[in-house]
Amino acid sequence: MIGISDKGMTNLLSAETLEGMAGEKVTLHGVIQRIRCLGWGAFIVLRRHDGLLQCVMGNDGNEEILDNLDVEQSVEVTGTVKEAGIKDNSIHPASVEIHVDSIDIISAPAVQPPVDTTKKVLDLHIDTNLDLRPLSLRHPGERARLKIAESFALGFRESLSNMGFTEIRTPKICSAGAEGGANIFKVDYFGRPAFLAQSPQFYKQMGVGIFERVFEVGPVFRAEPHQTSRHINEYTSLDFEMGFIDGFEDVMALEVAVLRHCLYRVRKNTSYELEMLGAKMPEIGEQIPSITLEEAHRITSEISGKNCMREPDLEPEEEKILCRYSKEEWGSEFLFVTHFPTEKRPFYTMDDPANPGTTLSFDLLFRGLEVTTGGQRIHEYEMQVEKMKKFGLDPDDFESYLQAHKYGLPPHGGLAIGLERMTARILDVDNIRLTTMFPRDAKRLTP
C-alpha cells in the first residue's frame, strides 16, 4: 500500500500569483504557443491553464536548445520572475515575464500543425476550424470564448443556488419527447424505442413538486435539419423552474436577477478574455422592457412597412428590428416579448384567462436573437389533461409525467436560456458553432 496525500500538490502558479513574485525563482509548465527569435535570443510564449506567459531566453550557450524548440511542445521552464510591460493583450500576466535559466522539452507533437495558431487572429474558414477543433481551440482567442461561456454558466449556478434552488440532473434518454413533435432523435434502447431529451421540462416540473425550486445545466437535443448560423442539434440549456409564483412575471423578474449575476460573473472571472476579444458587455439597467407579441408586431410593422400583425411568431428579421428599437427607445439590449399564441407554445403552457388564445409565456431577445423561452405552466391535473386532448395528445402516453399534477403541484413556471446563443451575442460571434466546443449539426458528427 502507498498513501496518497494532498500535501505538496503541484502549485499551478496562476497568472495573479506570478504577478506578485518578481525576483523569485520558479519552475513551471506550459505549451509553446509561439516563439519570436531575435538576434540576441528569443521570446517564448507559453500557453498555460489561465493565460499566456512570456519567457525570455538569451542565445549565449543556448543555441542548440533554442534550435530544438517548436510550437506545441510541452516544456518545463525554470527561471526568474522579472517585471515587464507587455503590450500584447493576449498575454496574461502582462506585468511579469520569466527570464529562463533552463527549458526542457517534455513532449513534442508528431507533426507540424496544419494551421497557424500563433497569430493574434486565427484566420480560418469555419469548416477548417471545426474539422481541426482539437487544435484550433488551442488558439487563445478561440478558447477564450469557451471560458466566457463557462463563467456565464457558473453565474447561473451561483445565483440560483444562492436563492434556494436545487441543482438536478435529469435523464437524457426518455420514453417521449417533451413537445410531442417530430423533431426528436430516436435511439434504440435495448430493443425498445427511446428518444434523446429535447428539454428537461417534464423533470423540472416534477422537481418543483420535490424541491419547489430546481435548475439544471445540461445538453438538449433537437433533430431539426435546419442549416442556420443560430441552430445546432445539441446545445447547452440553462433551465430553471420555480414553485409558488403569482404569475409569469415572477419568472421574468427572476431572470433579470439571474442575468445580472451571470454578467457580473463573466466580467469578474473573464476580464482578460473579454479584453482580448474586444467584447462589449451588455448592461442591465433598473429593468428590462417587456412588450406583448401584439405590440411587437405593431412596432415591426411600422418600422419595416410590412404587415406582421398576423404572424403567430417572431421572424428573425423582426427580432433584429425589435432589439434595435428597444436599444434606442428604452436603452436596453434585452427585451421581453410576451403572450405568444396558444398554438405556438407547448401543451404545458398556461393560457392567459384575460386574453383567450394567448399564453402566459415569454421570450427574451438579446442583440437580435431569441436567447430565452419561458412562462407559467399548467399545475392543475384536469386542466393539463384537457389541454393535452385539445392538442391531439393522449394523456395516457404521459402518465408518468402527469403524476406530478395528479398528486398536486403549486403554481409554477420557469425558463431555458441557450448558452451558446447567449455567448455568441455577448461576443458578437456570427455563428453559434464558434461558441460551441464540438458542435453537432446536420452535417457534422466529428470531432
CA distance 251 to 232: 26
- Residues 6 or more apart whose Cβ sits within 8 Å of residue 253: none
Left (φ > 0), alpha (ψ -120 to 50) or beta: where does 218 sit? beta
Nearer to RNA, 226 or 268 (CB): 226
Of positions 22, 84, 281, 402, contacts RNA by CB under 7 A: 84
Options 18, 75, 86, 388; binder of RNA; rule CB under 7 A: 86
Planar angle of CA 317, 322, 323, nearest 5 degrees: 100
Q: Which of 379, 345, 378, 386 is nearest to 363 (CA)?
A: 345
* Binding residue for RNA, selected from 5, 112, 162, 446, defined by CB under 7 A: 112
Interface with RNA, residue 171, by CB under 7 A: no
According to the binding rule CB under 7 A, does residue 446 interact with RNA? no
Selected from 212, 224, 234, 250, the binder of RNA by CB under 7 A is: 224
Q: Are strands 290-292 and 334-338 parallel, antiparallel or unpaired?
A: parallel
Interaction of residue 80 with RNA, rule CB under 7 A = no
87 makes contact with RNA (CB under 7 A) = yes
Give yes or no for a contact between 238 and 217, defined as CB atoms under 8 angstroms apart: yes
Counting residues that bind RNA (by CB under 7 A) gives 70
Spatial CB neighbours of 177, under 8 Å, sequence gap ≥ 6: 183, 184, 195, 198
169: which 3 cell numbers? Answer: 440532473
- Cell 446545445 locates to 235
Q: Nearest approach, Cβ of 4 to RNA (angstroms)?
A: 40
C-beta of 10 vs 112, nearer to RNA: 112
Is there binding between residue 186 and RNA (CB under 7 A)? no
The CB-of-88 to RNA minimum distance in angstroms stands at 3
Select from 206-214, 242-250, 325-333, 438-446 the region that touches RNA (CB under 7 A): 438-446
For the segment 337-356, give every residue that binds RNA (CB under 7 A). 344-346
Min. distance of Cβ 54 from RNA in angstroms? 6
> CB of residue 331 vs RNA: minimum separation in angstroms?
26
Smallest distance from RNA to CB 286, Å = 26
- Answer for the pair 198, 221: CB distance below 8 angstroms, yes or no: yes
Backbone angles phi, psi at 30, to 5 degrees: -175, 175
**CA-closest candidate to residue 388, choices 206, 240, 178:** 178
Q: Which stretch binds RNA (CB under 7 A): 32-40, 254-262, 278-286, 402-410?
A: 32-40
Torsion of the alpha carbons at 310, 312, 314 and 316, rounded to the nearest 10: -90
Single out the residue of 128, 271, 287, 355 in contact with RNA (rule: CB under 7 A): 128
Would you call 62 exposed, middle or buried from its count of C-beta atoms within 10 A (0-12, 13-18, 19+)? middle
Q: Does residue number 207 form part of the binding site for RNA (CB under 7 A)?
A: no
Residues that bind RNA (CB under 7 A): 34, 36-40, 43, 54, 56, 70-71, 82, 84-88, 91, 97, 99, 112-116, 118-121, 123-128, 178-179, 181, 183, 197-201, 220, 222, 224-231, 237, 313, 315-317, 344-346, 363, 373, 416, 430-431, 441, 443-444
